[in-house]
A = this chain, B = another copy of it.
Amino acid sequence: MGNRVPTLEDVAREAGVSRATVSRVVNGVRNVSPDIQRSVRDAIARTGYAPNQAARSLVTRRTGAAALVLSATDGAFAARVFSDPFFGRVVDGVLPVLRERAIQPVLLVAESERARTQLVEYLRRGGADGALVVPLDDEDPLPAMLAAAGLPTVLFGRPRDGERYGFVDLDNDAGARLAAEHLWATGRRRPATIAAPVTAPAAAARLDGFRRALAARGVTDVPVVRGRFTVDSGRRAMAELLRDHPDVDAVFAANDLMAEGACQYLRERGVDVPGAVAVVGFDDSAAARRSRPRLTTVRQPVERMAAALAGLLVEELEGTRTGPASRVFEPVLVVRGSA
């Protein structure tokens, strides 16, 4: 037996109609009489027909897929992405929006120079109709590459070059301020911060926001140690902080993972949290709830932001909106046990 994959033609012959009619049924176009619809559906079932996406795309110029791109310029990529709950939350937020519209979400990772090139090539050729990009680095060239390739692109996090893309972002400055004000209000006068890598998106905003809010209260010498968003780096940063500034009474970390690491280190050294040192995290991820004590943290509504991001792309693809649009979300302070 010919092991050929069945085509529209086969279904048409089987059902005794034209290709056009089968196509209409498959694509749910009305103006097809009910009985013909039935017989076509039967023929489809009998033949096991599935549309050929290549042929379809060739004429519609659509793939029905949207790329969710995780991009970083440094190494240790997968280790980071697959251990920070943040990315899972992004995925959780994006999926339902796309699924609802039967847009296939495809995750693409750009872990190296070569990967970026291949990825852009892939998308230029028509791998997906648009891209949702989560840049892990402010200097990431990928968004610009995608835009240059003419691909509808939206970003998680405000890009440096402002308004060329649609994006969603958090008011990071306000978030850092919430942390600072809470620590101040609870009597902390010698706060330090475990900041993000200099090139991390949002890093500057969280650090500056924290410093400014404290400066407004007369605290100008806030110790800063950089972490790398991981539990381990938070632990090491805390060790450094404790060594160089044994009198700190509060720590604001740029994400929950580092705050968790800080708590771990403090507890191991017998330093009471929050008694001796208060710790505030950022994100309100799963790490905030599993940490001991549970973390007081600045909540970033990642799932809602990701859903909005997907919505932005969908609008662009559907032509509902034309220019780039953006949306900024407000953080909320969640007080738990650590501060």
Interface residues of A (CB under 8 A from B): 5, 50-58, 63-65, 78-89, 91-92, 95, 99, 102, 104-109, 111, 114-115, 118-119, 121-122, 124-127, 149-150, 231-232, 264, 268, 286, 290, 292
Contact = CB atoms under 8 A, between A and B. Distances in A.
A58 B55 CA distance: 6
B104 A91 contact: no
A81 B268 CA distance: 29
B88 A125 contact: no
A124 B54 CA distance: 11
Contacts of A149: 50
Copy tally for this chain in the complex stands at 2
B115 A50 contact: no
A86 B109 CA distance: 16
Contacts of A52: 58, 125-126
Given A82-B81, A124-B50, A286-B83, A118 B99 contact: yes
21 contacts: A5-B150, A50-B121, A50-B124, A52-B58, A52-B125, A53-B125, A54-B55, A54-B56, A54-B57, A56-B125, A58-B58, A65-B127, A78-B92, A79-B88, A79-B92, A82-B91, A83-B88, A99-B114, A104-B118, A105-B109, A231-B290
B127 A53 contact: yes
Please report whether the interface of chain A is mostly helix, strand, loop or mixed according to DSSP. Answer: helix
Contacts of A85: 79, 82-83
A286 B82 CA distance: 11
Nearest to A50: B124
Given A88-B78, A91-B78, A115-B95, A107 B106 contact: yes
Given A99-B114, A286-B83, A292-B268, A54 B108 contact: no
Contact of A84 (B82, B99, B126): B82
Cβ-closest 4 pairs across A and B: A82-B88, A107-B107, A54-B57, A53-B125
Nearest to A94: B78
A52 B108 CA distance: 19
A209 B108 CA distance: 38
A78 B306 CA distance: 13
Nearest to A95: B111
B111 A108 contact: no
A156 to B, nearest CB: 14
Contacts of A231: 290
A65 B108 CA distance: 11
A119 to B, nearest CB: 7
A127 B99 contact: no
A51 B88 contact: no
Nearest to A79: B88
A51 to B, nearest CB: 6
Contact of A79 (B115, B126, B286): B286
B82 A104 contact: no
A162 to B, nearest CB: 25
